[in-house]
Amino acid sequence: MQMADIPFGITDWASIERTEHMGQTGVAYWRTRSFGGICVRMVEYSPGYLADHWCVKGHILLCTEGELHTELKDGRKFVLKPGMSYQVADNGEPHRSFTAVGATLFIVD
């Protein structure tokens, strides 16, 4: 990842308009900032959220609240709790997320 031409700045995530993204079940609320080709998001998953697709986008993801279950298409499963993160490359392992209790994530992709 090359980070260039991004002046120093701060983000008050509460002031960023949130957008709604329906899952197969539940809903995700995204607050998004873009810096050149880099997308930074605070994402809140409702309890019972299940992604409606296998994602192939690369991410660095940090769980800040709740609990996130991530399944890889090959059947492996992982659980993230607050303070845990994962990283995956573009077109790496297809993955999808589920949370029974809800989760808040900080994502860079």
At 100, list the tokens. Answer: 């029974």
18-108 adopts what CATH topology? Jelly Rolls (2.60.120)
Give me the pLDDT at residue 51, please.
Answer: 96
Give me the pLDDT at residue 1, please.
Answer: 65
Give the pLDDT confidence of 5-20 residue by residue, as tens digits.
888 999 999 999 999 9
Among 28, 92, 86, 22, residue whose Cα is nearest residue 56: 92
Q: Tell me the whole-structure pTM to 2 decimals.
A: 0.90
Q: In the predicted model, is pLDDT for residue 78 greater than 70?
A: yes
Among 53, 55, 37, residue whose Cα is nearest residue 109: 37
Give the C-alpha distances (Å, rounded to integers) separating 39 from 11, 33, 52, 55.
Answer: 13, 6, 21, 15
Give domain limits for the chain.
18-108
> pLDDT band at residue 44, thresholds of 50, 70 and 90?
very high
Per-residue pLDDT, averaged over 20-41, amounts to 95
